[in-house]
Every structure is written in structure tokens, then in C-alpha cells.
A and B are shown apart, each in its own frame.
Chain A
Amino acid sequence: MAIQSDTKPLLEVKNLRIEFPTRRGVLTAVDDISFDIMPGEVLGVVGESGAGKSLTGAAVIGLLEPPGRIAAGSISLEGQRIDNLPYEKMRQIRGRKIGAIFQDPLTSLNPLYSIGRQLVETIQTHTDMSESQARRRAVELLADVGIPAPERRVDQYPHQFSGGMRQRVVIALALAVNPKLVIADEPTTALDVSIQAQILDLIRKLCKERNVGVIIITHDMGVIAETADRVAVMYAGRIAEIGPVRDVIKHAKHPYTHGLMGSIPTIGHDTEKLTQIDGSMPRLTDIPRGCAFNPRCPKAFDKCFVDRPELIQVEQTRAACWLYEKEAVHG
């Protein structure tokens, strides 16, 4: 792995494969992906719609919507397999060890309960704190996530909070029982740009302080650049490239990542024409043979149309691209 560390990985995903049985055959939405996360590390998972990034997150939390199912591979948290646990057991783990932050804060909060009650309930379900202890903890958490006057606001209801403040409450909920891992799926997509940065800073700061591993799932390279330590770029259900954020963003190896970076307009950089990747991501029903990116790839050659590339170490990152095959063998 790129990150050298003595500690064991917090989360290990190995050869994960997610399938959807449909009437037109079984679709493979996530195909044989592997990655891991160290404690306190922020992994960004970036990809365009349909890349399989959200499904990967859902599989880790154990909230894959049927008929989607894990067809192969394993997910281990602190060395323990969690992908094959019975529902009740997984629910406990989800409560104690994994926190979740979703795109729309309103779906994570119950509109009928005050946020204090929701926090206290979460804390009491998974710890043996007394009511008053749990309440004190709830107020602390709200203060930690930067909600002004937490003693007063703890008794308010979700609709009394603005969008950004609601997302802060969701973060407080996710961190309420000191989880080891937080999964944030598009945590800032529904928020305005000026609030987006606040929320990202908060997630990063809190998780670093608590040594919590984080998976940030997003379509926005900007979000990744702001928060992640490492990034996995997904394309058509596979990891195209994975490595330290700086290297992936500045020196992308995979032609897809490269094209993706070039297609983002940047301020102060005047071009008449943006680099564009022609075409669009294949549908799950017709993923091309060989490398799934081959119809859009400017550098594709014979082999790309026949064999599927695996991740190959290229300098600091690993890319699934036949261009680097020689380096892997000889260099």
C-alpha cells in the first residue's frame, strides 16, 4: 500500500462484487474492487454517476438495497468480517462502530423528535450512559460540531435548523458513539458552496482528532482535494486509479483520471476548449470487453479491447491500465 504504517488497516475490502439480478440478467454494478483504510485516514471515493461508488459505501454499512447483493469478496472491520453477519448483529456494529452521513440531512433526522432526543437515544442504545450523562454528551457533541448555544438548541426540532446546521447535527449523530469509521455519501452536495467548505473542514477536523477512518463518496474532485488523504477513482464498477490525493490529482496516471482532471474548468486558467472525454460511462447492461474505458480512451490499443487490466503500481499511485504493464514487469 501507498501508506506505510505499522498499524493494521481499520477497514479491508477485498474483491468486492455487487450484483443486481434483473429480468434481463444479472448486472454487475461493482466488480472486484479492493481497498483498505487506516485509522484516522480519509479515503475519497470519486466517480461519475453509475460508477458504483455509492453502492460500495452502502455495502460497507450493510445497507445495500435489495435486490442488490454482495456476490463475492469480503469486507472486514478491525479484522472481523462484517459482510456476512446476520441483520441484527450488523445493526449493532453499524450503531457502535460505523457512522453515516448522507446527502440530504432531512432523511437522517426524524422530524418529529427534538435533535437532543435523537442524540440521547442513539447514545443510550449503544452505551450504558444514564439519561443525564447522555444529554450532557449530546450538548458537548453539538458544541463540537460548531452549533452555537447548544444548551438551548438541543431541544429544538430539525426544521428549526438551516441546511448547514442540520448537516452539522447529522455529523454529531454520526460521531455520537465514537465510531471507528464514518461513511459520508455526498455530504455537501445538497449544500450551498459557502457552507460546503465549512462542513468538509468539520468532518476532516473531527475525524482526525478522534482517529476515525472516513470514506467520503462524491462526484466532485474539489471535495476530494479539500478533504481526502487518498483517493480511489471509480469507473464502471471498478477502481481505475487509487493513490495519495496529491499524486492522483496532479499526476494522474490512468487516462480516465487524466481526462477527468482536464475537463474541470479552473479559475485563472484561460482555455477556449476544455479537455473532453467523448462519450459517456457505459450502462451496466453493456460494459465493454477488456478495459471498460476503452471506447472513450484516446490511448487505447489492441490489448485494451481484449483483457481487463488489474491495478498496477505506477510511481506513487496504482492504476488499472495496460499502458503501465511494462513498468510493472520490468521496472
Chain B
Amino acid sequence: MADAALKQPAATGTEPVLKAHDLARYFDVSPPFLNRVIEGAPRQILKAVDGVSFEIQKGRTFSLVGESGCGKSTVARLVVGLYTPTRGALQFEGQNIAGLTRKQMVPIRRKMQMIFQDPYASLNPRWRVVDIIAEPLRFFDLTSGEAATQKRVGELLSFVGLSPKDGLKYPHEFSGGQRQRISIARALATRPRFLICDEPTSALDVSVQAQILNLMKELQRELGLTYLFISHNLAVVYHMSDDVGVMYLGKLVEVAPARTLFVKPRHPYTKLLLDTIPDLDMKGEERAPVAGEVPNPINPPSGCTFHPRCPFANDRCRAEIPQPIAMPDGAKVACHGVEEGRIPA
């Protein structure tokens, strides 16, 4: 891993790399025009992300955790510009990036890359690995000449623990973990500072997951990378993160430093999530069974969307949408119960 060429100055200061304010993205999931006219079916709007604010500090890992449909992957795609936000502001290194055109985004894309979930779908099956990794190099014209490109691809491959010779092969000749390494090499090709990782290990076997998580931590240390890490696996999030945001139905219900969140969860939903973690220490503790399921996000419950599953819900929770409240230890919680002190914090 002694690759001086790839190294960047270590993280300094607490200047935020990414700032999201009141970020929202709605999807029109209405039935087709003809159905709406003939059947009188109404327009349906899915509020995948609805007013999310957070900051990511340089050199740190911010994780978004939540169940499927909570909008965490949509946030990742908003940040990287695959979706344009319906509302809200997004700043990368002090520059507004919400709603930029493709051309305007190009210089920013160099500094911001993404690692995807499915290593079987994220590499073009008809391309050789060398061409896959060289694509960003060629697009940004980062190397002078073909020989330099090849050399750089070789470096990147060794950097992620593969051999430069592997560049000759096609993706199908690799295992899931190796493909994820190729995906990481491609993301690192432009020497980005910020990586968005959308469930990078959830399609991998556990022993391979450990390899990839270790690699990602090493890369962060060596290159001073900042991560936005998306996962549904709380143990992985605990292992990787400095700060964690818990999402439920398009909203952030709790944001806190990882150690605070896992030791002292405040929002009832965070508590519920922590209760579901399987106990590998075999202490034989009986867990409180969790009731209910995530409601349909097209018609979310009124007020606090968690109220139908919340043991502490009252009339205010059913009527009024809670706003994030800052706690003394740096946590932010959107819960009336915590605000009023009804829920033991």
C-alpha cells in the first residue's frame, strides 16, 4: 500500500466536505395518463427523501442507516447527481451542486465518486477490467498517452489488492469481492476526495465483507478520504462510522456520533433497530419482540411517521411533524417524546 502517488494530505480541520440542507426528492409514481383519465386514478407522489439536513466533515465517515424504502440510497444518488433534488440545498466543498447540469458537474465528479452495491451489475460485462478502470482516466484525460494509462491502471489494481495482470480479464472471471475491488479501483482512478458507498458489502459474503471493509478503512487512512456510507447493517455501520444518521420514511430521525448513538440511542426507532441486532455473544438474552412493519411510503402516517409503531406516541405525535432538536452531546433527535422528556433520554 506504499503508493505515494495516490496519497493526499491527511485530514485537517473540521471544514465540512458536504452539507445538505432540507434536501428532498419526490417521485411521481402515478398510473399512466390514460389510466388517470379513464379510471380517475389520482396522481401519486412518493416522497422518497423529505427534508434531510446533515454535514459530513473532512476525513470522516458519515453513515445513513435504515430499512428498505427509507430513502438512504436516494440521498446517495442525490449527492452524486444521479437525481436532481426536488427541494433543498447541497454544498460540496463550499460550492452549491444542487441542480447543476451534466457539464457543470464534470469538474466536481472528479472529486466525488461512487461505489455501488451489486458487484455483478456495476461492471460492464463486455468490457475488460483494464478498460473499465481506464474509462474515467480517459474521460478526464488524466494520463498522457496510452502507456501511462495502462501503467496507472496497473497501479490502481495493485492498490486494491489485485494484480496488474488481472486487467486482462473480464468481470465474470472474478468473485464478488474481487469485483468490488475493481469497482473501488475505478472510483479511485480520478483521485477523488469523497466517496459515496451505497451498501458496498451487502451483496458479499461475510468473510469477503471483512476484506472490503478493511480495504476501505485502509484507503481512508492513507488517502484522507471522506465517506458517505449507506447500509442497513448496523454492525457494519458501527464498525465503519464516525457519525450516523438514522432514516425512517424519507426523514432523518436521529443523527449522532456513532459511539453516542449506539451507546445511548434516543429516538424510539433507533432503539427498535438496535434491539433487532442478533446476539452473537450468545448471552441468551430475551429480546423484546418488535411489532409492526414500515408503512407504505406513498401514504405515510400523519405527524411523526413512526407513531403507529411507537409505544410512546400521543396526540401531538399523530398531528405534528417533529423537528430535529440538538442535544448537549451533539446528537440531533426528531422526536416529541424526547423533546418533552416523556421518553427517557
Q: Is A245 an interface residue (CB 8 A)?
A: yes
Q: Is B217 an interface residue (CB 8 A)?
A: yes
**What's the Cα separation between A201 and B207 when bound, in Å?**
26
Whole-angstrom distance from the CB of B187 to the nearest CB of chain A?
21
Q: Is B232 an interface residue (CB 8 A)?
A: yes
**What's the Cα separation between A163 and B279 when bound, in Å?**
24
Interface size class of B (residues with CB under 8 A): 35 or more
**What's the Cα separation between A259 and B210 when bound, in Å?**
10
Interface size class of A (residues with CB under 8 A): 35 or more
Whole-angstrom distance from the CB of A231 to the nearest CB of chain B?
11
**What's the Cα separation between A278 and B161 when bound, in Å?**
10
Q: A264 contacts which of B67, B234, B235, B273 (Cβ < 8 Å)? A: B235
Whole-angstrom distance from the CB of B22 to the nearest CB of chain A?
27
**What's the Cα separation between A242 and B121 when bound, in Å?**
35
- B274-290 CB mask vs A (1 if < 8 Å, else 0) is 11111111100001011
- B173-197 CB mask vs A (1 if < 8 Å, else 0) is 0011110000000000000000000
**What's the Cα separation between A238 and B178 when bound, in Å?**
24
CB neighbours (8 Å) of A198 from chain B are 289-291
**What's the Cα separation between A264 and B211 when bound, in Å?**
11
Given A162-B293, A260-B207, A267-B277, also A192-B67 (CB < 8 A): yes
Q: Residue of B at shortest CB range from A163?
A: B293
Q: Residue of B at shortest CB range from A273?
A: B214
CB neighbours (8 Å) of B291 from chain A are 198
Q: Is B206 an interface residue (CB 8 A)?
A: yes
Given A192-B294, A219-B205, A281-B205, also A265-B282 (CB < 8 A): no
The answer on a CB contact under 8 Å between B280 and A266 is yes
The answer on a CB contact under 8 Å between B68 and A48 is no
Q: Is A67 an interface residue (CB 8 A)?
A: no
CB neighbours (8 Å) of A48 from chain B are 205-208
Q: B217 contacts which of A267, A268, A273, A280 (Cβ < 8 Å)? A: A273
Q: Is A271 an interface residue (CB 8 A)?
A: yes
Q: Residue of B at shortest CB range from A224?
A: B278
Q: Is B236 an interface residue (CB 8 A)?
A: yes
The answer on a CB contact under 8 Å between A263 and B262 is no
- B203-221 CB mask vs A (1 if < 8 Å, else 0) is 0011111110110010000
Q: Is A226 an interface residue (CB 8 A)?
A: yes
The answer on a CB contact under 8 Å between A197 and B293 is no
Q: Which of A43-75 contact B (CB under 8 A)?
A: 48-49
Interface residues of B, Cβ cutoff 8 Å to A: 67-68, 175-178, 205-211, 213-214, 217, 232, 234-236, 238-239, 262, 272-282, 287, 289-291, 293-294
